[in-house]
Amino acid sequence: MAITKTPSSMTTPLLMVFAFILITIMYSIQRASSCDEQSYYPSACDEVTSYLKPCILLDEKSDAGSSPECCEGVEGILEYNYYNTLALREICACIQQDTDLYAVLDKLPEACDNSFDLSYICSRFG
């Protein structure tokens, strides 16, 4: 007597494989979507703010060339990954948490004689 597989007994392993793949994909998507602002705190924010803390000294009375530490910090931010949108979003989120840093963003391009306008970039990320 030969045992024949019915279509329903063949679909069970296929459904299990499909369920496994679906669960794996859903888990991967959930992990990827959890890489939001909280994923890089606090170490990356500490690094960003340490680069830019000297810039807080830039106010209306300060000379444009008075803070080489600030401009070195801006260069450090450039090295942080200028062309990566996620990195820029992270940088802006960190800066927006520090109101003193956020207040001087528009002064940085002129003060440091560069075209890296964090104020404009961060305004685009809301």
C-alpha to C-alpha distance for 47 and 77, rounded to whole angstroms? 9
Show me where the domains of the chain are located. 41-124
Rounded alpha-carbon distances, angstroms, from residue 27 to 17, 18, 36, 37, 86: 15, 14, 16, 19, 21
End-to-end CA distance of the chain: 72
The top-level CATH class assigned to 41-124 is mainly alpha
By the 8 A CB rule, do 100 and 87 touch? no
pTM, rounded to two decimals? 0.56
Answer yes or no: is pLDDT of 72 > 70. Answer: yes
The 10s digit of each residue's pLDDT in 73-95 is: 888 887 765 567 888 888 888 88
C-alpha to C-alpha distance for 51 and 36, rounded to whole angstroms? 22
The 10s digit of each residue's pLDDT in 2-61 is: 555 555 566 677 888 887 888 878 777 765 554 444 444 456 788 888 888 888 876 655
